[in-house]
Amino acid sequence: MAAAGRGDAGADPASNPGTVAVCFCESTPLLWRAGDVRTARQTGVVGTLMGSLARQPRQNCRLGRPLELLREEARLLADAGRAVLLSSSRPKSTGAANPELVKQHQEQMDQSYSEQSQLAQQDKKAVLLRVMADKKQGSNQSDQALQERLLALDHGFTFPRTAMAVQLSTARAGMSYGPEELRFLAADSLSPRDERQEARYRVFRDLRRRGFYLTTGGKFGGDYLVYPGDPLRFHAHFIAICLPMDEALSLCDLLALSRLGANVKKTVLLCSPGAEPEEVLYTSLQWSGMV
Amino acid sequence: MAESNTSVSCSSDNFYSELLSPSELFAARSRSHKIPARGQKEFLPDGSARQRERLQQSLEEHWSLISEERVERLGALVKGEWIPSKNVVVLKSPAGKFWQTMGFSEHGKQLLLPEEALYLMECGSVQVFLHDLPLSIQEGYEMFLSKDTVNLQQYQVRHAAERRECRGALPLRLVPHKAAVSSLKVFSHLKRLGYVVSRFDRSTVPSHYERQLNLPPERDGHGRQLKRKRSRSPSSQLPDGQGGVAGESLEMRGGETKSQRANPEDGAAGLSEPEAERMVEDVPVPSGVPERRWWVEGGADLPQSPTRPRHRGWVWETITLPDLGAHRCQPALAAPDPSLLPGRLSVGVCAMEPWLRRLNLRPERLSRRERERERSRYRRDVNDDREVRHCRSWAEYHELRRRRRNRHGRRNRPEHLWEGKVTPLLQPGQHTTAGDVLDKIGVVGASRLLDGAAGLEDSEGWKISFDVFQPDTVAEFKKSSPGKPYSRLCVCSFEGPVPDLRVLKQLAFQSGDVPVTFAVVDHGDISFYCFKDFQLPTDTSH
């Protein structure tokens, strides 16, 4: 099943409750377990949900797991030691069924079935008893009928197999065939590829350290949306655009950005990492008239 | 309310354990299906207890929603099995309502494409097994979308290649894998809204000519139409001597048999015609001579996408239509292939004599004026003209031309106007509408999106992924004849380049008359853009 990773992956999620398992699906970092999503949010990483919501899958307003992370978010978690990066390759197609696992699964299903049928029987009995209790003042015939039904329930209750409830797990349940290789990736697999990505990461880290929450800003024409508090309750204040320090920005672009900011009532923030390792410089744009 | 994160699975690695106990599963039957509405957001955090409380409440609600696991009745689940070698899910129990718009049949089995299977798994309609153990959604994502598998892009590319091999055309470019997750996001997004989304298949786009012909939609073997036997479309090799004539002779486009004009009026090529005819009709083809049939047979190895009906079977390049009026026509037409005929009908060789008698084969007798016109219509070498040969200098030649012009009565073109460097734009009476005049003085001509698009090669990384049909057509939607889609989608991301004109033209051409929409994916936000053709209005009163 799940192979062991390298020895330095000591942050085994099972043992250390503060770490999350970031699973890569084709170079996109995803969080699958609900506990991981919660832990990540506590460290300030918000992410975007991209799956269907279990309760109502056919709508787009509220989505469910998996939670997709930005590269910067995954890197932040990894650098802080709060994440284990995993990447799995698919099992070989020539693999055969493992009879032991299949038997285990069958046993689980059978046990679940028997428990559920007992519960169903008890549930039905409880309903009948409640009806009887309500009808205490009722006539004798109905009482007798109910008694008969109770007896019948004891003897001839059937719970069809098709009525059994079955769980469709979201995250890997550990029941099926694990991938051939569950690789633990090094943190530097997330390192930036070019200057712009490095700028983005530094800005992200700095804003995060100042206590802001960040999400993607693609629909506002920027890199990040900056919230003063949790995005669930507050509106974004800034649109952050990350640029390397010496990159030239044409006037047309500046005008477009400030127009955009004025229209959506958010302040545009031009962010550049400075010369010092932890220094990030911010410039805000405001469109104002001549006084 | 069923909660998760309770029991620990009994397997050795309790790495992942969000299993529900049977009592929780049972209690999940009475779960609510409503989603609580989100309240108004606030502007500024002021550290008050009220805000903290509201935040906690929202967060708790959020956690309870996303940690809910899917619980379904076993009888309501359709069982499926993942086949890694073919990257499809085979349904082991009969499909439910989703079969109307998703999935395809092959060899009597019901199959689902990976993205459809993932969506149905998330909806809780299908449970997919691999080697008798159920897959979770995470495993589904990892297996169906992994780098090692043939994902969405490659699946299409491979099948497009096989189709193109028969027509002997373009080189192949594989698209990088990264976009499978984005494609899945777009697919799920639209499916959740109710659209019918299917993979784009280039072979089903009718060409401009086919659209002009406005052919009735073919029925797919149901009903009274005789089932034509279908064979593999012909390969591109031909026996020597046939290549030239056969290749030229089979241009159906343009609606005329230009083919026969290509046959010169000497005997050699004329003889090759009956041979070409025989080639087409020969039923038992000897090995070594490739089959040439202009109908396409189905079979297990039909190189078309399995999700599309096999009704685009005409291979236009191989149809010959004999020209009976040609100078040397063959005395008889060979008998048609018995496999094309219904029942036990057998038709013999067709004698041409009675038909030729009905044609008017008398030589044409033209009047003198018509003959002159014929002669002057085709291009003649100026040196053939006797009078021109008599001229000994350029001046004499100019004089000759002037004389001829005057003789032919071109008096309405006075020399002082028409012989200079600057000539009038129009002749009086030639163009009468303002629109015509504006056309003549226009410097920049109008251009449409599809101008020059026919010859473009495929662009790197840009391809149409899906056909989208509107939700209100779901009731009458038939997979076998879906009709014209509402739009076609090309998936890209904000990090990539903006499509340039070349890409736009190429995709618009590929898509035929259906507009192409670009679905731009950015970590969960999907924006849809489309480019519209636009004509500047011309200011004429007509």
List, for residues A213-230, the tens digit of each pLDDT value: 999 988 888 899 999 999
Instruction: Give the mean pLDDT of A7-19.
Output: 52
List, for residues A73-128, the tens digit of each pLDDT value: 999 998 888 888 887 766 555 567 778 888 988 999 999 999 999 898 888 888 88
A2 pLDDT band, cuts 50/70/90, is very low
Window from A41-45, A93-97, A121-125, B523-527 with minimum mean pLDDT: A93-97
| Tokens encoding A127 | 């309903």
CB count in 10 Å sphere of residue B541: 6
Give φ, ψ of B271 to 5 degrees. Answer: -75, -30
Position B79 pLDDT exceeds 90: yes
More reliable by pLDDT, A141 or B333? B333
CA dihedral for B499, B500, B506, B511, sign (positive or negative):
positive
Report, as residue numbers or ranges, the catalytic residues of A. Answer: 227, 235, 266
- CB A39 within 8 Å of CB A18: yes
Q: Does A193 touch chain B if contact means CB atoms closer than 8 Å? A: no
CA dihedral for B527, B531, B537, B542, sign (positive or negative):
negative
- Bridge partners of residue B104, in order along the sequence: B111
Window from B122-136, B251-265, B359-373 with minimum mean pLDDT: B251-265
- Bridge partners of residue B116, in order along the sequence: none
Per cent of chain B over pLDDT 70 is 69
Q: Which residues of B touch A230 (CB under 8 A)?
A: 55, 58-59
- CB A265 within 8 Å of CB A271: no
Distance from CA of A218 to the nearest CA of B (A): 6
Instruction: Give the mean pLDDT of A46-53.
Output: 92
**How far apart, in whole angstroms, are the C-alpha atoms of residue A52 and residue A63?**
5
| Tokens encoding B312 | 């685009």
Q: What is the pLDDT of residue B479?
A: 85
A129 pLDDT band, cuts 50/70/90, is confident
A63 pLDDT band, cuts 50/70/90, is very high
Q: Which residues of A touch B79 (CB under 8 A)?
A: none
Considering only the beta carbons, identify the residue of B22, B65, B194 that sits closest to A116: B22
Q: Which residues of B touch A88 (CB under 8 A)?
A: 142, 146
B191 pLDDT band, cuts 50/70/90, is very high
Position A177 pLDDT exceeds 60: no
Per cent of chain B over pLDDT 90 is 20
Q: What is the pLDDT of residue B42?
A: 84
Q: What is the pLDDT of residue B11?
A: 34
CA dihedral for B281, B282, B284, B285, sign (positive or negative):
negative
**How far apart, in whole angstroms, are the C-alpha atoms of residue A36 and residue A22?**
9
Q: Which residues contact B269 (CB under 8 A, 6 or more apart)?
A: B245, B263
**How far apart, in whole angstroms, are the C-alpha atoms of residue B351 and residue B254?**
29
Amino acid, res. B363? P
Position A201 pLDDT exceeds 70: yes
Instruction: Give the mean pLDDT of B98-121.
Output: 92
**How far apart, in whole angstroms, are the C-alpha atoms of residue B118 and residue B123?**
9
| Tokens encoding A195 | 């200057």
Domain ranges of chain B: 2-67, 208-306, 370-424, 448-530
Interface A-B: count of C-beta contacts within 8 A: 277
Q: What is the pLDDT of residue B213?
A: 83
Q: What is the pLDDT of residue B271?
A: 39
- Considering the entire predicted model, what is its pTM? 0.71
Q: What is the pLDDT of residue B113?
A: 92
**How far apart, in whole angstroms, are the C-alpha atoms of residue A71 and residue A243?**
17
How distant is the alpha carbon of residue A177 from its chain centre?
A: 23
More reliable by pLDDT, B231 or B440? B440
What residue in A sits closest to B121 (Cα-Cα)? Answer: A168
More reliable by pLDDT, B26 or B260? B26
Window from A18-32, B108-122, B233-247, B421-435 with minimum mean pLDDT: B233-247
Amino acid, res. B499? P
**How far apart, in whole angstroms, are the C-alpha atoms of residue B140 and residue B120?**
11
Instruction: Give the mean pLDDT of B101-129.
Output: 92
Quote the ipTM score. 0.88
Q: What is the pLDDT of residue B351?
A: 80
Position B123 pLDDT exceeds 90: yes
Considering only the beta carbons, identify the residue of B119, B124, B146 that sits closest to A168: B124
Window from A185-199, B26-40, B262-276, B389-403 with minimum mean pLDDT: B262-276
Q: What is the pLDDT of residue B406?
A: 74
Instruction: Give the mean pLDDT of B42-54.
Output: 86
A38 pLDDT band, cuts 50/70/90, is very high
Position B416 pLDDT exceeds 70: yes
Residue B444 DSSP one-character state: S
Considering only the beta carbons, identify the residue of B68, B84, B188 that sits closest to A55: B68
Give φ, ψ of A214 to 5 degrees. Answer: -130, 140
> Across the interface, do B58 and A233 touch by the CB < 8 Å criterion?
yes
Position B138 pLDDT exceeds 60: yes
Q: Which residues contact B121 (CB under 8 A, 6 or more apart)?
A: A168, B127, B128, B135, B137, B140
Overall size of chain A counted in residues: 291
B408 pLDDT band, cuts 50/70/90, is confident
**Residue A190: C-alpha distances to residues A66, A69, B92, B129, B148 (Å):** 19, 12, 41, 33, 21
- CB A175 within 8 Å of CB A105: yes
Window from A24-33, A265-274, B86-95, B399-408 with minimum mean pLDDT: B399-408
Q: What is the dihedral of CA B498, B500, B503, B506, to 10 degrees?
A: 140
- In the three-class reduction of DSSP (H, G, I as helix; E, B as strand; rest coil), residue A182 is classed as strand
Q: What is the pLDDT of residue A228?
A: 92
Q: Does A2 touch chain B if contact means CB atoms closer than 8 Å? A: yes
Considering only the beta carbons, identify the residue of B25, B121, B136 that sits closest to A173: B136
Position B176 pLDDT exceeds 90: no
**How far apart, in whole angstroms, are the C-alpha atoms of residue B82 and residue B69?**
22
Position A140 pLDDT exceeds 90: no
When the pLDDT of each residue in chain B is averaged and rounded to a whole number, the result is: 72
**Residue B253: C-alpha distances to residues B50, B134, B236, B462 (Å):** 75, 53, 19, 29
More reliable by pLDDT, B410 or B473? B473
Q: Which residues contact B18 (CB under 8 A, 6 or more apart)?
A: A33, A34, A169, A170, A171, A173, B4, B5, B67, B69
- CB B310 within 8 Å of CB B255: no
Give φ, ψ of A271 to 5 degrees. Answer: -120, 135
- CB B467 within 8 Å of CB B482: yes
Q: Which residues of B touch A118 (CB under 8 A)?
A: none
CB count in 10 Å sphere of residue A17: 9
The DSSP result for B56-110, as a single string, is: HHHHHHHHHHHTPPEEEEGGGPEEEEEETTTTEEEESS---GGGGTS-EEETTEE
Position A16 pLDDT exceeds 80: no
**How far apart, in whole angstroms, are the C-alpha atoms of residue A280 and residue A271?**
7
- CB A22 within 8 Å of CB A29: yes
More reliable by pLDDT, A150 or B230? A150
Position B61 pLDDT exceeds 80: yes
> Across the interface, do A166 and B72 touch by the CB < 8 Å criterion?
yes
- Which of B198, B90, B201, B114 lies closest to B156, judged by CA? B201
Position B20 pLDDT exceeds 70: yes
List, for residues B300-336, the tens digit of each pLDDT value: 333 444 444 444 566 777 777 777 666 666 667 777 7
Angle (CA) A27 A207 B182, round 5°: 25
A137 pLDDT band, cuts 50/70/90, is low
User: How do B78-83 and B126-130 pair as beta strands?
Assistant: parallel
